[in-house]
Amino acid sequence: MRAAAFTDLTGPDGVEIVDRPTPEPGRGDVRIDVEACAINRHDLWILEGDSAMVETDDLPFVTGLDVAGVVDAVGDGVTDVAPGDRVLLCPNETCGTCRFCREGPENLCESFSLYHGGLADAAVVDAARLVSLPDSVGTTTAAALPTAYVTAYHMLRRAAVSAGDLVFVPGATGGVGVAAVQLAAVLGARTVATSSSASKLDRVAELGADHAVLGSDPDDLRDAVSDVGTPDAVINHLGGPYTDLGLSLLRRGGRMVVCGRTAGARSEIDVPDLFLGHKRVIGSTMGTQADLERLVSLVEAGDLTPEVDETYPLESTAAAFAAMQERETIGKLVVTP
Ligand SMILES: NC(=O)c1ccc[n+]([C@@H]2O[C@H](COP(=O)([O-])OP(=O)(O)OC[C@H]3O[C@@H](n4cnc5c(N)ncnc54)[C@H](OP(=O)(O)O)[C@@H]3O)[C@@H](O)[C@H]2O)c1
Ligand SMILES: [Zn+2]
């Protein structure tokens, strides 16, 4: 089979199409004929040598978390899925025994990790991590959900966003950003979305953002967002200066949930503003398999249409990462092996 492997960690030129033996499913596993696999900024960090998870000794490395396709072989002991089933992988890998696995939520597992390997013709995965796809939910659409949409959904829930809230989404044009805008609308909340690109912002407004603010300078954004209103919640996947920005804009008692560091791994905050304003800053990573199942149901019901900007054949995986690196894209990019 073919796989899109990272063979060096210097950026998109490090992606090569390699031949590998087709893997056989072990006990409890299934092999999926991969029809679609979305890419995420997480994969780009790895490819740019900016992730502690993969180092040059680990190369070649095949990433790809968000796998959707058709089961084509099952290992011993697998009874819940059968060849021919259309499925979506929840990429969570958990120990199953720690207190968080026992009490939930599972994404707090003390040994939490993620499946990697979907950028290939076939992927062997844990059968217990599969979500069944209704006929009306295509595999390209489904592949958008497991990382970006589940993370945004879980963040909105942790921020206790409800109908009528104003949610600030800095950097609203990428995977997590667009998902936050669309899912906030599903919850009945209003959003203020920002981007450095006017054309991408137009698209985010079409996708449901109530207010669009163009710009990238945090001080300019502070003024423009204040003109719109006082956010009840901030969905912050950027980190860096956007953490202080979000905190300063929040209403008293407001919640900011943080999941990323695209604009910087360190943030300064105004500590008195935090405690005098009774504000909350909440860290969040991924979500649960139950979150993913809920999102598939929302898509099936017609309440959510994940935004897939472009699909790429496996041979063009490098081009997909280059487009993400150049900030040319909106929503999700999906590789279709
Ligand atoms: N903890 C978790 O479980 C989890 C899960 C998913 C993602 N994440 C993190 O969340 C972040 C977003 O992931 P993603 O896959 O949605 O990424 P993405 O699709 O590449 O996000 C693109 C968005 O980020 C903005 N952006 C890119 N570079 C920027 C910069 N230097 N300064 C300010 N804004 C910038 C873009 O703004 P423009 O519109 O201006 O181009 C765009 O809105 C990443 O840090 C990722 O690691 C974490
Ligand atoms: Zn655990």
| 209 in a structural domain | yes
Residue 244, Cα to own-chain centre: how many angstroms? 23
Q: Are residues 137 and 155 in the same domain?
A: no
Q: Are residues 97 and 82 in the same domain?
A: yes
134: preceding bond cis by omega (within 30 degrees): no
pLDDT of residue 167: 98
Task: Name the pairing type of β-strands 166-169 and 190-195.
Answer: parallel
pLDDT of residue 14: 98
How confident is residue 307, by pLDDT bands cut at 50, 70 and 90?
A: very high
The total domain count for the chain is: 2
Q: Are residues 73 and 90 in the same domain?
A: yes
| 127 in a structural domain | yes
Which ligand is the nearest neighbour of the Cα of 94? 2
How remote is the CA of residue 90 from the centroid of ligand 2, in Å? 15
Closest Cα to atom 46, ligand 1: which residue? 260
pLDDT of residue 288: 98
Please give the order of strands across the beta sheet that includes 211-214.
211-214, 190-195, 166-169, 233-236, 255-258, 280-283
pLDDT of residue 10: 96
pLDDT per residue over 169-192, tens digit each?
A: 999 999 999 999 999 999 999 999
How remote is the CA of residue 170 from the centroid of ligand 1, in Å? 10
Residue 161 CA to residue 158 CA, distance in Å, equals 8
How remote is the CA of residue 115 from the centroid of ligand 2, in Å? 15
| 99 in a structural domain | yes
| 288 in a structural domain | no
pLDDT of residue 173: 98
| 295 in a structural domain | no
pLDDT of residue 67: 98
pLDDT per residue over 127-163, tens digit each?
A: 999 999 999 999 999 999 999 999 999 999 999 999 9
What percent of the chain clears pLDDT 90, i.e. is strictly above it?
100
What percent of the chain clears pLDDT 70, i.e. is strictly above it?
100
| 299 in a structural domain | no
pLDDT per residue over 32-57, tens digit each?
A: 999 999 999 999 999 999 999 999 99
| 301 in a structural domain | no
pLDDT per residue over 220-268, tens digit each?
A: 999 999 999 999 999 999 999 999 999 999 999 999 999 999 999 999 9
Q: Are residues 210 and 243 in the same domain?
A: yes
Closest Cα to atom 17, ligand 1: which residue? 41
pLDDT of residue 250: 98
SS3 string, the chain, reads CEEEEECCCCCHHHEEEEECCCCCCCCCEEEEEEEEEEECHHHHHHHCCCCCCCCHHHCCECCCCEEEEEEEEECCCCCCCCCCCEEEECCEECCCCCHHHHHCCHHHCCCCEECCCCCECEEEEEHHHEEECCCCCCHHHHHCHHHHHHHHHHHHHHCCCCCCCEEEECCCCCHHHHHHHHHHHHCCCEEEEEECCHHHHHHHHHCCCCEEEECCCHHHHHHHHHHHCCCCEEEECCCCHHHHHHHHHCCCCCEEEECCCCCCCCCCCCHHHHHHCCCEEEECCCCCHHHHHHHHHHHHCCCCCCCEEEEEEHHHHHHHHHHHHCCCCCCEEEEEC
How remote is the CA of residue 235 from the centroid of ligand 1, in Å? 11
Residue 111 CA to residue 97 CA, distance in Å, equals 10
How confident is residue 84, by pLDDT bands cut at 50, 70 and 90?
A: very high
The CATH number of whichever domain residue 326 belongs to comes to: 3.90.180.10
> Which ligand 1 atom sits closest to the C-alpha of 239?
45
Q: Are residues 113 and 182 in the same domain?
A: no
pLDDT of residue 133: 98
Q: Are residues 220 and 176 in the same domain?
A: yes
Q: Are residues 69 and 154 in the same domain?
A: no
Domain that holds residue 37: 2-144+307-336
Q: Are residues 140 and 179 in the same domain?
A: no
**Residues contacting ligand 1 via CB (< 6 Å):** 40-42, 147-148, 151, 171-177, 195-197, 200, 237-238, 259-263, 285-286, 324, 327
Q: Are residues 153 and 230 in the same domain?
A: yes
Read off the tokens for 292: 């993913």
Residue at which a domain ends, from 250, 267, 283? 283
Read off the tokens for 129: 């991590």
pLDDT per residue over 8-32, tens digit each?
A: 999 999 999 999 999 999 999 999 9
Q: Are residues 92 and 188 in the same domain?
A: no
* Best residue for ligand 1 mutational test, from 37, 40, 213 (most atoms within 8 Å of Cβ): 40
| 302 in a structural domain | no
pLDDT of residue 253: 98
pLDDT of residue 57: 95
Q: Are residues 158 and 273 in the same domain?
A: yes
Q: Are residues 311 and 239 in the same domain?
A: no
